Chains A and B, each alone.
Chain A
Amino acid sequence: MKQALMEVKKIKCGYESGFYIRDVSLNVYPGDFIGIIGPNGSGKSTLIRAISRILKPDRGRIFLKGNDIWEMDIKEVAKKVAVVSQNLEANNITVKEMVLLGRIPYFLPFQFLESSIDEKIAAEAIEIMGISKLKDKRLDEISGGERQLTHIARALAQKPEILLLDEPTSHLDIRHQISILDLMKRLSRDNGIAIVAVLHDLNLATEYCGRIVLMDKGKIYKSGSPEEVLDYKIIEEVYKTPVIVHKSPISGKPYVFPVTEEMWKRHVDRGIMMAIERKKGLK
């Protein structure tokens, strides 16, 4: 039985406005690739904020290898958990400088300059993400996809055990989506880093994530393997829209197909027709 990197125990956490996530528990193990999915406003980003030590839970506790993260020194947390947020701005520092920022948690109290070790680790991270050619370019000179790679490289420079990604691929084209997720998969498999990613695309989540956590209205609706979570009844209940779940002929993973208005009107396949009949009962 592996020791959990992070244990989230029944936390209640939220904002002054009244929105709260409640009764949320989660265990993260080395090598995990966990996808957090759910409708807008279900509390996914709030969960990320809670486990990255931004929002303090009113109830419940979060442990990193047995230590409560709110009792740990903030630098120690940063050495174990790295976060890539949504919508980071493009400013005018270079790729290399941005990645070097990831070494800040390792700076000694009066250290002013990066050590040669810092430089080496940053270079490695840049290499892993495949952006070595861009290292002297400024962030506002490169594409959105390349910026995302840079931010992930920065997070890697922190040498974390857990990497949190908040919608890392939502605004990218399919090529970048696949390449980034492939990279994340490789990191989790080869380096033992646990990846926790908020994903919008259910089908990407199904391919890459070993475990999926489905959130709804601030609570975990269902957590488990893609087969367990991506069941048509569950998806329809949470997302409130008819879908068809069908095994991918290539990978065997459950894919979620939307049911459009057109499809009501056309019968394409007997299987689909039967599904539509069932749905009619719903609508």
Chain B
Amino acid sequence: MNKKAKGWILWIVILLIMLLFVCLLSMFYGSVGIPINRLIEIILKGEKGGERIILFDLRLSRIILGIAFGGGLSLCGVILQGMFRNPLVEPYTLGISGGAALGVCIGIVLKLSKISGSYILPVSGFAGAVFVVIIIYALSIRKGKIKIQNLLLTGVMISFVCSSLVMLLMAISRSEDLHGIIFWTMGSLAVNDWLLVKISITISLTLLFISLFFTIDLNAISLGEEEAIHLGVNIERSKKALFFIVSILSGISVSVAGVIGFVGLIVPHIMRMIFGNDHRILLISSYIGGAIFLILCDTIARTIISPLELPVGVITGIFGGGLFIYALNRRKVSV
């Protein structure tokens, strides 16, 4: 194994350690303070009760979702930026979040949650996302090949159409629904259902694993689509698989946790500044980096104006944007 690969492995270990640290930080920080000695007592004595619930039910579920979606959204971002060879593309550019938002809004306005409980909103969100994905895909396929330009343009247009429809629904909805819609669109990791959490993390990790098989293809595609074919890469198969991965992953993250922006834009950029353009390290470092970033932002979001909670998308935007500008000034960014 050569020097480059050894360097990568070292970095991955460092990132994993940072992730562990951030997870522990997030466990202990919150609107209700629980000191470490209490934590040890609780684990050792197997205590049940309020504090255990806070730690292992409420906070742990947020941490796991932070990994699933922070990692997932960054992964989607880095894949899309590689496929489109455009640094400004992020998972929401393709309109998938617009479709999910529309699905959830329709669910809220039709009061579906009163009928079928808390699962109906993520399901309707996911249905909306899938619907949009099918439209985009159908409009971008020509003779069995995905036209990347069409994908981008169609996605952007659909994104606009969906947000207009969402605004329409907001204009005619009742105030309690409106409040719900607004808060949902601002994103939150306070998903109070373990089944959803488990599904999310399983899917997220599985898709990460699958995406690693396409890192070489992404390296080739970064030269250009024709050039990638010249290098013997089956780009149609790669594009379809990667499109599928991005659709499912961003669809599920928007349906379950709402719209959390910037993660898919900022984290891949920072990783590119550190590692360059080799997707073999970019994909996994973006995933771990995204997890760290989202968990940190979530911890801030739920402690800064306790007991109220800020939407996590606010923190990712401000914190992430600021971080990015700072990094830009320190080092030349090129793609």
Chain A interface (Cβ < 8 Å from any Cβ of B) = 49, 52-54, 74-79, 81-83, 85, 88-89, 91-94, 97, 101-102, 104-105, 107, 110, 112-114, 116, 119, 140, 158
Contacts and interface: CB of A to CB of B under 8 A. Distances in A.
Contacts of A81: 230
B2 A119 contact: yes
Contact of B216 (A53, A107, A140): A107
B303 interface: no
Contacts of A94: 276
Contacts of A83: 227, 230
Contacts of B229: 52-54, 74
A54 B280 CA distance: 26
Which one of B223, B231, B280 has the greatest number of beta carbons of chain A within 10 Å?
B231
Given A74-B234, A94-B276, A105-B231, 16 more contacts: A49-B226, A74-B233, A78-B230, A78-B231, A81-B230, A83-B230, A92-B334, A92-B335, A97-B278, A101-B220, A101-B231, A102-B231, A107-B216, A110-B213, A112-B215, A112-B280
B219 interface: yes
A101 B223 contact: yes
B13 interface: no
In the A-B complex, list the 4 residue pairs whose CB atoms are closest, starting with the nearest.
A78-B232, A105-B232, A75-B232, A83-B230
Contacts of A113: 1-2, 5, 280
Nearest to A164: B230
A85 B222 contact: no
B188 to A, nearest CB: 37
Nearest to A109: B213
A88 B224 contact: yes
Contacts of A79: 232
B163 interface: no
Give the interface centre of B220, B227, B276, B280 by most chain A CB atoms within 10 Å: B227
A177 B231 CA distance: 25
A53 B232 CA distance: 10
Contact of B230 (A52, A89, A116): A52
Given A74-B232, A158-B231, A88 B213 contact: no
Interface of B: 1-2, 5, 213, 215-216, 219-220, 222-224, 226-227, 229-234, 276-278, 280, 334-335
Overall SS of chain B's interface: loop
B335 A91 contact: yes
Nearest to A74: B232
A104 B216 contact: yes
A76 to B, nearest CB: 8
Contacts of A76: 232
B179 to A, nearest CB: 46
A88 B223 contact: yes
A67 to B, nearest CB: 15
Nearest to B228: A104
Nearest to B8: A113
B276 A92 contact: yes
A75 B232 CA distance: 4
A87 to B, nearest CB: 10
A112 B216 CA distance: 7
Contacts of A102: 231
A83 B220 CA distance: 13
Nearest to A56: B143
6 contacts: A74-B234, A85-B226, A101-B231, A104-B220, A113-B5, A140-B334
A102 B222 CA distance: 13
Nearest to B1: A113
A93 B216 contact: no
Contacts of B213: 110
Contacts of A107: 216
Given A110-B213, A112-B280, A54 B226 contact: yes
A91 B226 contact: no
A104 B276 contact: no
Nearest to B215: A112
B271 to A, nearest CB: 13
Contact of B232 (A77, A93, A119): A77
Contacts of B216: 104, 107, 112
Contacts of A88: 223-224, 227
Contacts of B219: 101, 104
A89 B226 CA distance: 13
A113 B276 CA distance: 16
Contacts of A92: 276-277, 334-335
B58 to A, nearest CB: 39
Nearest to B278: A97
A119 to B, nearest CB: 7
A277 to B, nearest CB: 49
